[in-house]
Structure 1
Amino acid sequence: MRFHTRKWIKPEDLNPNQTLFGGKLLAWIDEEAALYVTIQLENKRVVTKYMNEINFVSSAEQGDIIEIGIEVVKFGKTSLTLACEVRNKMTRKTIIKIDKIIMVNLGEDGKPSPHGKTKIEFVKDRLNSSKS
């Protein structure tokens, strides 16, 4: 799993127990998944269709640094299925795991559209191939 984003837990990210608010973390995960898929599919029109069971394993406190990891599990015709893990950067303890996030590629009409991708592509490789 590749960890792309780090977040520093600030006072505004906390719940009344003074630990990381789960809703804030889920919003960060949703944004990270959307960014990842947007880059992979080269299309800014992607939406979250589904997240399976969300398992909070541990928490984070103010001052902790967390990192969000995403990996592609499956390429569908109009979708990408991802897995996600969020962990504490310093302790390496898992905070949350989500085994299945389905992101759907949309066409200009706002309806699911085939994306034609079958494997992970890295931006550096796209840039190198466009120079040839």
Structure 2
Amino acid sequence: MTNNRHMRFHTRKWVKPEDLNPNGSLFGGQLLAWIDEEVALYTVIQLENSKVVTKYMSEINFMASARQGDIVEIGILVTKFGKSSLTLKCEARNKMTRETILTIDNIVMVNLGPDGKPTPHGKTEVEFVKDRLKED
């Protein structure tokens, strides 16, 4: 059920002074907040529903860091479409050093109905917004 598409890097973040920990490197919690927001936005667009929640994040593997002025790229790959969920893989990398900062193998996002309960989304594959635009 895994698709063979390459991970797409959608977002870049600039590491600013307020993003640093006391050691002068990027605070991991800030990076996780960026990732959580990015994955949520990606899921909202894919499922065409603004009511989605993060259900699960697997082990987070920190491999490198970033410093003030570095640019961090966040990549997302959909690995599975569940009935009411989407499972994604994420990688953050330092654009300056070309190092992988962290990887998260499984992030499960759940599609909610108006009642706030999980509801089927009816999607089975990644859609690109440009493919949804109708021509006149």
> TM-score, length-normalised on structure 1?
0.97
Residue identity opposite 1:94 in structure 2: T
In the TM superposition, 1:27-46 aligns within 5 A as 27-46=33-52
Q: Percent identity?
A: 76
**Which SS does the other structure have where 1:67 is aligned?**
strand
CA–CA distance in 2 between the matches of 1:131 and 1:107? 30
- Which residue number in structure 2 is paired with residue 17 of structure 1? 23
Q: Report the structure, 1 or 2, having the larger helix content.
A: 1
Mapped pair 1:131 → 2:135 = yes
Mapped pair 1:95 → 2:101 = yes
> 4+ runs of 1 displaced by more than 3 Å?
none
1:131 is displaced (CA, Å) by: 2.6
CA–CA distance in 1 between the matches of 2:135 and 2:70? 42
CA RMSD of aligned residues (A): 0.7
CA–CA distance in 2 between the matches of 1:92 and 1:2? 16
CA–CA distance in 1 between the matches of 2:82 and 2:135? 29
In the TM superposition, 1:1-132 aligns within 5 A as 1-127=7-133, 130-131=134-135
1:54 is displaced (CA, Å) by: 0.4
Structure 2 regions of 5+ residues with no counterpart?
A: 1-6
1:82 is displaced (CA, Å) by: 0.2
1:106-131 superposed Cα distances (whole Å, 9 cap, x missing partner): 0000000000000000000000xx33
Structure 1 regions of 5+ residues with no counterpart?
A: none
> TM-score, length-normalised on structure 2?
0.94
1:91 is displaced (CA, Å) by: 2.0
* Equivalences, count: 130
